[in-house]
Amino acid sequence: MHAYRTHTCGELRKNHEGQDVRLSGWISRIRDHGGVLFIDLRDRYGVTQCVVEENSPLLASVEKWRNESVITIDGKVMARTAETVNAKMPTGEIEITIGKATLQSAADVIPFQVAEDDGAGEDIRLRYRYLDLRREKMQKNITLRNGVIRTLRESMYAQGFQEFQTPILTASSPEGARDYLVPSRLHPGKFYALPQAPQQFKQLLMVSGFDRYFQIAPCFRDEDGRADRLAEFYQLDMEMSFVTQEDIFATMEPVIRSLFEKFNDFTGQSHKVEWLPHLRYDDAMLKYGSDKPDLRNPLEICDVTEVFARDDVEFKAFKGTIEKGGVVRAIRAPKVADQPRSFFDKLNAWAQGEGAPGLGYILFEAGEGKGPIAKFVPEAAQGKLKEIAGLEDGDAIFFICNREAQAAKFAGAARDAICNALPEGHSVSREKGVFKFCWIVDFPMYEFDEKAQKIDFSHNPFSMPQGGMDDLENKDPQEIYAYQYDCVCNGFELCSGAIRNHKPEIMEKAFALAGYSKDVLEAKFGGMLSAFNFGAPPHGGCAFGIDRMVMLLADEPNLREVYAFVMNGQYEDQMMSAPSDISEEQLRDLHIRLNLPKAKVEAA
């Protein structure tokens, strides 16, 4: 017999009745039923009920063992009686009568329950992550993650892609987020950067002639933490040569569709997988107020600036903003006349909580507009509102007025808030049981950075402008569009990509418009720029965030629920005590002297 087990704790069934077996695992629970001990023995495969019978010589020692201790038991498989069968457990028709039990490793008193959710906070869960990972939900999520990565890898191989591993220590580059920097001991005063993405390397592989690249790539970005963003994350990174934007879509849609169809019922609820028509960036911002809209929400935003700009409309709060170049966005909420006043009050309070004066609206009943703004909008203007927004009796329309970018962002948030406030079963409730995918296309190449007061790249600096050099030389930078695209699903950006700028002269001009001189371009991207002078094929690619896809499939609100080992929201690893101080000797080796903030020095 094997030293530790003949079967796993999820393997035994009624057809094993009478067999002598050996199991090893963790004590999930011990229950004393009048001198008979029941042990739920757990491993990653399942749970088996084991019994120490009354008057067994094992009772005295086993009853002292704590939950989460590791044990090995020898015993006989017995069928449970009809009244004790547990239909909720795969092993629920049998139990093991223990003849021998060995304590392999005793557990201290555990800081939180593993066998059930006792509401332990994130801090203690992350400090004892190895215990947290024993919980059934976490085991399932990590197993899902493993299945997702394996499925993606198999799908890419099936389409003729080759897998590569690109460097982790590389050069710092301006790619939209802060780099994590690593000092060089051998080159004093110089630093490596951890890659925000393998962008340049995968493009260089295309120049090298490999044609179809993919990688399950680790990426690092020194950004503030939030529920759907971590400092370290993984993505399915891919690149192809001699392709158009549509070729990328046609290649990746089947990969992602088949993945979500394979795991669509992980949460116990089956989900449809829908891929909607492409959506232009400008249209997404106008209709949904977001470049990653949740398309399960049926509400849409429209522009009603012309209504409030009319001479017969006297709403000064909006008119003053419009005269300064602002816009008015509106959201139709169908059939809400039967909602209590508290429905509107809660939305107004929500808007105030977001820093706005409120959320004004007009409610239409019996052909007449009512509400706090209605008296400022005469009948003819109300008629125009109905025409633009498709309003009917029983509908309300909510308004947001601000500069265009701010109005779009707030309208997008209001669209979700209104949908969330509607009662279950309402005609425009958020759709359930579906993953709705869409490619957002035609991103602006540049945007105006208000903080820096300059033009900068709005997305990926390595993208090809849609009009090539002609657009760069003859158009206002803010009117130039790029072959850039995102894939969104249920309100999350899952993927970002582009057709690349593979011509050195166009790249030089594109960076110049964003304020980067040729010297800077060569210093930061000299390797890739040089390679393009030796024959670069047209190429493009994208990267799908593995963590966000697993999060969606598992219906988890936080990426930390689908990773094995993670940091908290302040990017501290409480289990491993990182980041940590280093010794003076280490600092000397790296030729570094600390210049800490005053508060840090005083705390020390």
- The CATH number covering residue 75 comes to 2.40.50.140
Choose one of 84, 105, 126: the last residue of a domain: 105
- Looking up residue 317, the CATH number of its domain turns out to be 3.30.1360.30
Give domain status of residue 463, yes or no: no
What's the confidence (pLDDT) of residue 490? 97
Cβ pair 48, 10 in contact under 8 A: yes
Structure confidence by residue, pLDDT tens digits, 274-305: 999 999 999 999 999 999 999 999 999 999 99
Choose one of 430, 462, 485: the last residue of a domain: 430
Give domain status of residue 312, yes or no: yes
Choose one of 408, 430, 452: the last residue of a domain: 430
Cβ pair 257, 544 in contact under 8 A: no
Categorize the per-residue pLDDT at 527 as very low, low, confident or very high, splitting at 50, 70 and 90: confident
Count up the domains in the chain and report the number: 2
**241-247 contacts: CB < 8 A, separation 24 or more?**
241/206, 241/209, 241/211, 241/212, 241/537, 241/538, 241/539, 242/211, 242/537, 242/538, 242/539, 243/499, 243/538, 243/539, 243/540, 244/499, 244/540, 245/441, 245/483, 245/485, 245/499, 245/540, 247/540
Identify which of 503, 502, 463 has the alpha carbon closest to the alpha carbon of residue 484: 463
Domain of 391? 297-430
Structure confidence by residue, pLDDT tens digits, 1-37: 899 999 999 999 999 999 999 999 999 999 998 889 9
Give domain status of residue 167, yes or no: no
Instruction: Give helix then strand counts, H and E, for the chain.
Output: 18, 23
Q: Is the peptide bond before 57 cis (omega within 30 degrees of 0)?
A: no
Give domain status of residue 371, yes or no: yes
Cβ pair 541, 248 in contact under 8 A: yes
Compute how many other C-beta atoms are within 10 angstroms of the C-beta atom of residue 165.
11
CA separation for the pair 290, 411 (Å, rounded) = 9
Give domain status of residue 514, yes or no: no
Give domain status of residue 284, yes or no: no
- Dihedral sign of CA atoms 283, 286, 291, 292 in order: negative
Spatial neighbors of 359 by CB under 8 A, at least 6 apart, are 347, 348, 350, 351, 398, 399, 400, 414
Structure confidence by residue, pLDDT tens digits, 388-417: 999 999 999 999 999 999 999 999 999 999
Whether residue 601 has pLDDT greater than 60:
no
The mean pLDDT of the chain is 93
Give domain status of residue 324, yes or no: yes
Residue with tokens 């210093």: 523
Categorize the per-residue pLDDT at 49 as very low, low, confident or very high, splitting at 50, 70 and 90: very high
**576-582 contacts: CB < 8 A, separation 24 or more?**
none
Give domain status of residue 216, yes or no: no
Structure confidence by residue, pLDDT tens digits, 436-451: 999 999 999 999 888 8
